[in-house]
Copies of this chain bind each other. A is one copy, B any other.
Amino acid sequence: METILPIALGADHAGVALKDMLRDALDVPFVDLGTNGPDSVDYPDFGVAVAEAVASGRARLGVLVCGSGIGISIAANRNPAIRCALVHDVTGARLAREHNDANVIALGARMIGTEVALEAVRVFLATPYLGGRHSHRVVKLSPDWTETP
């Protein structure tokens, strides 16, 4: 039987409520890397943790939430194996997968509503990468990175 890799979830205190809503609404295996309460935390810690889970192959894709989505997406993109797309709607979620082969989606809990966020993540998880003319551009996003076999 094929093992289905989980989706890695992460958020800071501004994003935890949306992260928990997404976790409960999505019918997919997940690994929740926190945060798990209202206490103030640092968004880079969770961006780094989800990036490492995806880069190591422990998770198939990642979902990150902070207040604007900006800081946590920057943190994830420091990892050369990660292509994290900050998304504000379904269109961005689709393009992130189709054109950029994004493996992490970032959302701003204070920027978009819960239904928009949920539909964007559903589209992100379901949309395949188109490849083709996009491939050599995607390779240029990680010029120094080699996948470990």
Contacts and interface: CB of A to CB of B under 8 A. Distances in A.
Contacts of A141: 44, 71, 74-75, 78
A148 B70 CA distance: 25
Interface residues of A, number: 35
Contacts of A88: 88, 111
Interface stretch (A1-9, A21-29, A53-61, A90-98): A90-98
A145 to B, nearest CB: 10
11 contacts: A42-B136, A43-B137, A67-B99, A68-B92, A68-B100, A70-B86, A70-B87, A70-B100, A71-B100, A91-B111, A92-B111
A92 B137 CA distance: 26
